[in-house]
Structure 1
Amino acid sequence: MEFRTLGRSGCAVSALCLGTMTFGHESDEKVAHAQLDMFAEAGGTFVDTADVYSAGESERIIGRWLASRPASVTEPIVLATKGRQPMASDPNGAGLSNRHLTRALDASLDRLGVDSVDLYQCHSWDALTPLDETLRTLDGFVRAGKIRYYGFSNFTGWQLTKAVLLAQQLGLAGPVSLQPQYSLLVRETEYEIVPAVLDAGLGMLPWSPLGGGWLSGKYRRGERPTGATRLGDNPERGMEAWDRRGTAHTWDVIEAVQGVAEARGVSMAEVALAWITDRPGVTSTILGARTTDQLEANLRAAGLHLSAEETSALDEASDPRPVDYPYGPMGVAQRNRTI
């Protein structure tokens, strides 16, 4: 397992992160604890959760694991959670206000059974709460010792840049990370979000690096999924829905990944994870697995690096190919001052 610093901080984390959105829903406690054990045994140290995952049950499961394992196992763990999403039906039961975040963090610490977390993340932007209120609240958490660092998730480029600059202007602790959706199937993140991350010197933590399972090779062109897979259970599930994501471009990317995997003698998942983990600005790639077998397969990507030729082939196949300004060739040329 390789290690990288978390953005501008001095905190080292494993280049693969265990995501726990499945805990308490798709993975029961026994399976979840087995995944945590496997991840730690493989040298993984970075674990990511959120208060909204299974309505807090993911955090409780992690808390019971932390309490039941020896310090030699739990001490290296860098623990991250998130707050912002609705956890109550009252008007202040969501958002990035001081009131909600304070209650949300205290509740997360209680469920996790810890006095502090290493990384606390705002789960998404809040258009109702003044940004300075959110940043002052996060700075207060750092000063109180409740969190060591903070970051954001699902922020756009301008939102991230505004937060970074405002924190500097106010003399507050600044963010160290951003958690966006990013994969060979979602490279639009590179238009504005990745440049904003690089400009601010933050660490990027990509979620859904396998495109909701599409890049693992579990689906076949023209064969609507059935059985014990996410889309087999519900073909219209979320962003990775079969009819939404099953485009000609997606299948072209899958074929390119398959070609590299076969030539390398590794799985498609390993190739897709290696590609994203070595993208500029990426600190740690978040793995999501329903079973220990899936996690074991994904962990084989640890330390795998693609050649320049392999990376170029995947870049070419996965290029979203915007055709017009500002992201098409004309816009790129203008930004790079080549015309």
Structure 2
Amino acid sequence: MRSGVVPWSPLAGGVLTGKYHRSDLESSSAGGGRSSRKEVAAGNRFLTARALDIAAVVKDIAAEIGTTPSRVALAWTLINPAVVASLVGARTLAQLDDNLGSLQVELTPEQRARLAEASAVDLGFPHETLRRLSSSR
């Protein structure tokens, strides 16, 4: 029996679409009846400096190949052999159409490497110590 992964929120709550910026990391002091953009950003648990760094690479690659950051991010998710499907949160038909366009995106090995480097997880202790010990042999 084979198992697979179905990523939830592969666009990181919209962060990988390019709609957020560094200024969105600042807390909002806006009030009123409707939520401001800052308040919505403040409620996005995916919105971090690291996520914005990854989003910058996604946006750069999207500009290189003439497509949207959403398509690049989803295409990048779908090239992982463990991923069997991806749960997108499209709220409009335009967003769904854009998301489906990811199926036509082809990323070069160099682009894949840039995305992998930008998103690499720092495993910290004790993994870093073990890596250093094994590389010194």
Query: Which bracket does the TM-score occupy, shorter chain normalised?
Result: 0.7 to 0.9
Aligned to 1:234: 40
Amino acid at match of 1:246: T
Aligned to 1:254: 55
Aligned to 1:297: 98
* Aligned-partner Cα distance in 2 for 1:270–1:229: 28
Shift of residue 320, structure 1, vs aligned partner: 2.4
* Aligned-partner Cα distance in 2 for 1:267–1:310: 15
Number of residue pairs aligned between Structure 1 and Structure 2: 131
Q: Given the alignment of the two structures, is residue 322 of structure 1 paired with residue 128 of structure 2, yes or no?
A: no
Q: Larger % of helix: which?
A: 2
Aligned to 2:107: 306
Residue pairs, 1:32-47, within 5 angstroms: none
Unpaired runs of 5+ residues, structure 1, are 1-7, 9-200
Shift of residue 296, structure 1, vs aligned partner: 1.1
How far does the alpha carbon of each residue in 1:246-274 deviate from its partner, in whole angstroms, 9 at most, with x for none? 22x22221111111111000100011001
Residue pairs, 1:1-339, within 5 angstroms: 8=1, 201-223=2-24, 234-237=40-43, 239-240=45-46, 245-247=47-49, 249-326=50-127, 328=128, 330=130
State the secondary structure of the residue aligned to 1:213.
helix
How big is the alpha-carbon RMSD for the aligned residues of Structure 1 and Structure 2? 3.1
* Aligned-partner Cα distance in 2 for 1:229–1:296: 27
Normalised by the length of structure 1, the TM-score is 0.34
How far does the alpha carbon of each residue in 1:258-313 deviate from its partner, in whole angstroms, 9 at most, with x for none? 11111000100011001111113111111111111111111111132311110001
Whether the 8 Å contact between 1:324 and 1:331 is mirrored in structure 2 is no
Cα gap change, 1:296 to 1:330, in 2 (>3 Å): same
Unpaired runs of 5+ residues, structure 2, are none
Q: Larger % of strand: which?
A: 1
Normalised by the length of structure 2, the TM-score is 0.78
* Aligned-partner Cα distance in 2 for 1:211–1:283: 18
State the secondary structure of the residue aligned to 2:98.
helix
How far does the alpha carbon of each residue in 1:225-259 deviate from its partner, in whole angstroms, 9 at most, with x for none? 99x9996663333533xxxx322x22221111111
State the secondary structure of the residue aligned to 1:203.
coil
Shift of residue 333, structure 1, vs aligned partner: 7.5
